[in-house]
Amino acid sequence: MTEREHKSEVAQLMEQITLEYEAAHLGLHGLACGNMHHDCIIAGMEQSVPSMLQLFEKGKHQAAHTYGS
């Protein structure tokens, strides 16, 4: 069993959103800032919305509010 399989579903969603947020942040402020297009950043952030909605639906409101921050 992998480390990811040992994590709770909420922890997995939090990790996924965090990674997507960091990728978008690096695209805006990191070394790739001149190469990343606005549409790609928006698309990446929009991909995290379903995960946040899943947290809300599971009653994990605090986790959803702090996700990506």
> Please, which pLDDT band fits residue 66 given cuts at 50, 70 and 90?
confident
Q: What is the pLDDT of residues 12-48, one digit of tens each?
A: 999 999 998 888 877 777 655 555 566 777 777 787 7
Average pLDDT over every residue of 48-67: 78
Distances (CA, A) of 28 to 3, 9, 10, 50: 30, 29, 27, 22
What's the pLDDT score for residue 25? 79
Q: What is the pLDDT of residue 59?
A: 83
Q: What is the pTM of this model?
A: 0.41
Work out the burial of residue 39: count CB atoms within 10 Å of its CB; fewer than 13 is exposed, 13-18 middle, 19 or more buried: exposed
- pLDDT at position 68 is 54
φ, ψ of residue 60 to 5 degrees: the values are: -95, 60
Longest dimension (CA), the chain: 40
Q: What pLDDT is stored for residue 58 in this prediction?
A: 84
